[in-house]
């Protein structure tokens, strides 16, 4: 078993990214070998500023470490530093169908956001993601719900490759957080929390100050009634309970019990306290890692070396299976 996951360095991460994805890594790394990637090649599928991308790459590395990624036991690296990711993408492109890529929700949404820049890389984004995962023969991929469609394509490409060229890849599975796979916007519980949301009241960033976070929780949308209960009839409150539960590792039923007979005001105060405690601890560690670029660079250098070792071995197998070159990976 091997775990692979990644985040794009496109901006500061929010608590949805943390709960849906990174938090799961921290528990999985106790049991399984893990490879954690900063997917900078995915980040250039939308317009970007080169110098900013560099800064964000180190920001994301510091975020992984502050969240608790164990860089000694596991691999932490930058995607573009291991060339096999793009090389395997090309080979998988020969198996991917234009018709199935056209169905991807994320492609459709991002095409709407910037209609003048629907580039070929944005279209091919899921194939690069499949290459990321398959290059390490990963079996488990902790992600948020919005990435499940990309996971299905990855599984399909692995099956197709194995059927055509012989068994090379295990079929990987997406791993979803039990309740937090889709953290919703604080200002609109019908849409997922997203860094691209038009209002900052949609999300809590991992870099938000305590005052900003408290203010956002105070303004968070609630449902009719006043009971703190989890369920379909209370989408806004359920989302807040989920955040509370995930950040404090408290079962949902314990939170319902704690706030039985109490109103939204008291619940929101408790939630704001929990979020602020989490942010305080996280930010202290983040500052420490982010201010030590020498350490960050040495962790990423070492990670790229270790990742390259696995990636080049798989890629040699792939080349031979596909019939590229003159055999035996020449």
125-156 per-residue burial string, b: 16 or more CB within 10 A, e: under 16: bbbbbbbbbbbbbbbbbbbbebbebbbebbbb
The DSSP line for 14-57 is BHHHIIIIIHHHHHHTTTS-EEEEE-HHHHTTS---HHHHHHHH
Question: Is 116 in the active site?
Answer: no
CA 214 to chain centre: 25
How near is the Cβ of 104 to ligand TYM at its closest, in Å?
Answer: 11
Catalytic site residue from 52, 195, 258, 262: 195
How far is CA 112 from each of CA 31, 109, 115, rounded to the nearest angstrom? 41, 5, 5
How near is the Cβ of 245 to ligand TYM at its closest, in Å?
Answer: 14
Question: Is 195 in the active site?
Answer: yes
Report the residue closest to ligand TYM, judged by CB: 20
- 64: helix, coil or strand? helix
| Binding flag, residue 23, ligand TYM (CB under 6 A) | no
Binding mask 42-71 for ligand TYM (x = CB under 6 A): x-----------------------------
Catalytic site residue from 110, 137, 216, 234: 110
| Binding flag, residue 7, ligand TYM (CB under 6 A) | yes
- 67: helix, coil or strand? helix
Question: Is 137 in the active site?
Answer: no
H runs (alpha helix) in 48-181: 50-67, 84-93, 98-101, 105-113, 120-135, 148-165
d(CA 252, CA 262): 16
> Can you tell me which of 2, 3, 4, 153 binds ligand TYM, judged by CB under 6 A?
4
Binding mask 191-230 for ligand TYM (x = CB under 6 A): -xx-------------------------------------
Binding mask 115-134 for ligand TYM (x = CB under 6 A): --------------x--xx-
| Binding flag, residue 303, ligand TYM (CB under 6 A) | no
Helix, strand, coil percent values for the chain (each to nearest 5): 60, 5, 35
Count of residues engaged in binding ligand TYM, rule: CB under 6 A? 26
> Can you tell me which of 2, 34, 96, 183 binds ligand TYM, judged by CB under 6 A?
183
Cβ-based nearer residue to ligand TYM, 6 or 189:
6
> Can you tell me which of 65, 135, 143, 255 binds ligand TYM, judged by CB under 6 A?
143
| Binding flag, residue 39, ligand TYM (CB under 6 A) | yes
Handedness of CA 52, 55, 58, 63 (dihedral sign): negative
d(CA 127, CA 40): 15
Catalytic site residue from 23, 192, 234, 268: 192
Phi first, then psi, for residue 240 (nearest 5°) are -65, -40
Listed residue (178, 243, 277) closest to 14, CA to CA: 243
Q: Which residues are catalytic?
A: 110, 192, 195
Query: What are the residues binding ligand TYM (CB under 6 A)?
Result: 4-8, 16-17, 19-21, 39, 42, 129, 132-133, 141, 143-144, 146-147, 150, 181-183, 192-193
């Amino acid at each position: 078993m091997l775990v692979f996951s990644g985040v794009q360095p496109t901006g500061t991460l929010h608590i949805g990214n943390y709960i849906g994805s990174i938090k799961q890594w921290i528990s999985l790394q106790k049991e399984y070998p893990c490879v954690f990637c900063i997917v900078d090649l995915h980040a250039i599928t939308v317009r970007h500023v080169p110098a900013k991308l560099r800064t964000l790459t180190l920001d994301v590395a510091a975020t992984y470490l502050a969240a608790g990624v164990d860089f000694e036991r596991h691999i932490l690296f930058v995607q573009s530093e291991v060339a096999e990711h793009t090389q395997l993408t090309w080979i998988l492109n020969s198996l991917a169908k234009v018709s199935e890529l056209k169905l991807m929700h994320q492609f459709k949404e991002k095409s709407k956001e910037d209609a003048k820049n629907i580039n070929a890389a944005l279209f091919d984004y899921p194939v690069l993601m499949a290459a990321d995962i398959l290059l390490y023969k990963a079996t488990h991929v902790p992600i948020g719900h919005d990435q499940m469609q990309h996971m299905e394509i990855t599984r399909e490409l692995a099956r197709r490759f194995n059927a055509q060229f012989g068994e090379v890849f295990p079929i990987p599975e997406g791993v979803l957080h039990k309740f937090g796979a889709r953290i919703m916007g604080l200002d609109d519980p019908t849409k997922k929390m997203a860094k691209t949301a038009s209002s900052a009241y949609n999300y809590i960033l991992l870099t938000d100050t305590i005052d900003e976070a408290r203010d956002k929780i105070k303004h968070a949308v609630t449902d009719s009634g006043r009971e703190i209960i989890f369920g379909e009839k209370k989408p806004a409150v359920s989302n807040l309970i989920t955040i509370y539960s995930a950040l404090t590792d408290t079962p949902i039923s314990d939170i319902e019990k704690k706030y039985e007979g109490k109103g939204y005001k008291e619940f929101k105060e408790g939630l704001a306290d929990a979020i602020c405690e989490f942010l305080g601890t996280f930010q202290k560690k983040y500052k420490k890692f982010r201010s030590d670029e020498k350490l960050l660079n040495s962790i990423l250098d070492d990670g790229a070396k270790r990742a390259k070792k696995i990636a080049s071995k798989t890629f040699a197998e792939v080349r031979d299976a596909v019939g590229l070159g003159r055999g035996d990976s020449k």
